[in-house]
Amino acid sequence: MRTCIAMFVAILFLSGCKQANQGLPSGKWIDLSHSFSEKAIYWPTAKSFELEVVSAQHTEGGYYYAANNFSAAEHGGTHLDAPIHFYEGRWTSDQIPVDRLIGAAIVIDASEKGLADRDFQFGEQDFLDWEANHGRIPDDSIVLLKFGYAQYWPDRLKYLGTDKTGEEAVAELHFPALHPDGAKWLVANRKIKAIGLDTPSIDYGQSKTFESHQILFKENIPAFENVANLDQLPATGAHVFALPMKIEGGSGGPLRIVALVPDQQ
C-alpha cells in the first residue's frame, strides 16, 4: 500500500522521478501566485474579487468560527485560461488533464525588452535566441515568459498601463506578451504542455483579435496569466505545479501555481 502511494505521489508531482521511493527531492518551494483580494488586478471589464465576511467571532459554543463568501470573474488575479476561452470545442477548465498542468519548466527572461517597451511581443527569433544559449526547449515543458511586470503588482497603472476600468480602459492597455508568430512557431516546432507569463494576457495589451490565444488554444495548450515571482526561478530545472479551481464547463479560473527548485539548481 505504501509503495502504491509513493508511486502515485512521484508520478503526480515529479515527472522526472524514475523510482517511486525517491520521493520529492530536497529543494526550495516558490509560490508563483498573487493573493486574491480586493487589490488583485482583473481585466478592466471583468468583475473584481470581492470577499464578504460571514463570520469572524467566538460563538456561543465556546469556539472561534471564521467563514467568508467570495465572488469574482474567472479571469483575474493569477489564473488559468482554458483552451475553450478562445476556441470552440476545446478543453474547459475541468477537462484539462492534470498531467498537462504539472511538469518541468523553462523560464525565459524577456524583462529587458518588456520593461523597455510596454508593447513588446515575444516572437520566434526570441525563442531561437534563448535556445542558442540554453538548448532546445524539451518536449512536454511548461514555458514561462518573464517580462518583469510582477514587480508592479498590484499597481494597476504600472501593471496594465491604465488605472481606468470599464470599456474605455481597454484601449489604454499596454503590456508585453507573446507575439502570434511566436505562438505559431511553438505549436509547429515544439511540444509544450502549457505556457504562462507575468502579465495580464498571452496577447499584448493593444491586441484586438487575440491571435496568440487562438493559436495556442486550438492545440489545447492552456495558459497561466498574472504569474508571480518568476525572478526566483532558474532558466531550467524547476518543476511547476499549476492547479486551478476545477470549474465544470469553465473558461478559466483562479490558479494556485507553485514551483519546486531542486537544491542542485
* Chain segment 185-216, per-residue pLDDT in tens: 999 999 999 999 999 999 999 999 999 999 99
Give the count of beta carbons closer than 10 Å to the beta carbon of residue 11.
13
d(CA 50, CA 73): 10
In the prediction, which pLDDT does 22 show?
A: 52
79 is catalytic: no
Provide the pairing of β-strand 141-146 with 192-197.
parallel
Q: What is the pTM of this model?
A: 0.90
Peptide bond into 262 cis (omega under 30): no
Residues 75, 213: contact at Cβ < 8 Å?
no
- What would the mean pLDDT of 49-65 be, rounded to a whole number? 97
Residue type, 89: G
In the prediction, which pLDDT does 264 show?
A: 77
In the prediction, which pLDDT does 19 show?
A: 39
Helix axis angle for 180-189 and 211-218, nearest 10°, is 10
Residues 213, 223: contact at Cβ < 8 Å?
yes
d(CA 174, CA 32): 22
Q: What is the DSSP letter of 217?
A: H
- What would the mean pLDDT of 16-30 be, rounded to a whole number? 65
- Domain extent listing, the chain: 25-46+74-262
Q: Is the pLDDT of residue 95 over 50?
A: yes
Instruction: Report the C-alpha dihedral over residues 15, 19, 21, 23, rounded to 10 degrees.
Output: -20
Q: Is the pLDDT of residue 8 over 60?
A: no
d(CA 90, CA 260): 29
CA distances from 6 to 24, 104, 172, 177 (A): 10, 20, 51, 39
- If you average pLDDT over every residue of the chain, what do you get? 92
- The CATH code of domain 25-46+74-262 reads 3.50.30.50
pLDDT digits (tens, 9 = 90+) for 138-178: 999 999 999 999 999 999 999 999 999 999 999 999 999 99
Percentage, residues of the chain above pLDDT 70: 91
pLDDT digits (tens, 9 = 90+) for 115-124: 999 999 999 9
Which residue in the block uniquely carries the three cell numbers 492597455?
Answer: 173
Q: Is the pLDDT of residue 236 over 90?
A: yes
Residues 48, 42: contact at Cβ < 8 Å?
yes
Q: Is the pLDDT of residue 62 over 50?
A: yes
Q: Is the pLDDT of residue 17 over 90?
A: no
d(CA 4, CA 21): 10
Q: Which residue among 79, 85, 179, 213 is the active-site one?
A: 85
Looking at per-residue pLDDT, the higher value among 20 and 159 belongs to 159
pLDDT-derived band at 18 (thresholds 50, 70, 90) equals very low
Give the count of beta carbons closer than 10 Å to the beta carbon of residue 44.
21
